[in-house]
Amino acid sequence: MFDFENNYSEWRENKLTHKVSQASLKPVLIADPSSLSDAELALLKQHCGQNNFALYRFSDSNISEKSIIATMARQFSMYELDQNLCADNDSISSLEVMDLGRAQGYIPYTSKALNWHTDGYYNPLSQHIRSFLLHCVRNAAQGGENMLINHELIYIQLYDTAPSLITALCQPDALTIPANIENGVEVRSAQSGPVFYRDPSTNTLQMRYTARSRSIQWKQDKDLLRAVDIIEELLADSEYVLHYTLQPGEGLVCNNILHGRSAFTNGNIPQQQRLMYRVRSYNRLFSQIK
């Protein structure tokens, strides 16, 4: 296994050779999500090892019980789940348009576009989201396309432009997210951290990023600001950006790669009200055998 720092050129070559293209994007078929076959697991593991993500499709698209999604997630090593502010008691969030309650102030619970980000970029590094799963229960009438890019490919493009850009992004105070205050009460403290870093528990390259420009602070460092501009350009126009609209019974599982979502329009019938289940975990995919 090559390392992104110690064997950069071999690691780079390996990543570029095995990167998936838009034309070759294909979900792995899953017959029984409660108990995946060795072949299904091996294929998903291979996709995640090469591209940091995999798409899957249930043979029976009507299967959508949360308990089954949770059982499937454990087979991907997603054991420690993140209980975020809007998750249900089972740590699975139901992402749908919410007109009432706490979730309504958060863009994932609206039909608006979601700009590029990694999940939990506002978490302390001790609670970094190493993987997440999105399962489509219902689709919108229009829109709701996901855009994806393996962050390792962004690392490669920046490193090949100038290694100093990577050094700048690895600074521990590169990106600061101010505290989250709800009704005068601090529900999360300010978080400073790097954009790229080596995860100490898995020794792999992780990314922490948001494309939002309000309520975040970039360190005012020349190389860093240049790197941020280049990331923006890459995300706007890169052959490595993939697009996929999940259909009912399909899902995405990934090592918290960079992603976003286009705006969508729900239809007038219940079957066209977009609903996604989201599971977030502190575990990297296929990192543990239990």
Residues at the contact surface with Fe ion, assessed by CB under 5 A? 119
DSSP H or E stretch at residue 46: helix 38-51
CB of 152: closest distance to Fe ion in angstroms?
18
- Cβ closest to Fe ion, residue 148 vs residue 224: 148
Dihedral over Cα of 239, 175, 262, 271: its sign: positive
Could you tell me the smallest distance in angstroms from the CB atom of residue 229 to Fe ion?
Answer: 23
Q: How far apart are CA 151 and CA 52, in angstroms?
A: 8
Minimum Å gap between C-beta 132 and Fe ion is 7
Q: Residue 255 in contact with residue 48, Cβ under 8 Å?
A: yes
CB of residue 259 vs Fe ion: minimum separation in angstroms? 6
d(CA 272, CA 266): 6
Q: Tell me the CA end-to-end span of the chain in Å, nearest whole number.
A: 22
Closest residue by beta carbon to Fe ion: 119
Contact 138, 277 (CB under 8 A): no
Which residue, 105 or 172, is less far from Fe ion as judged by CB?
Answer: 105
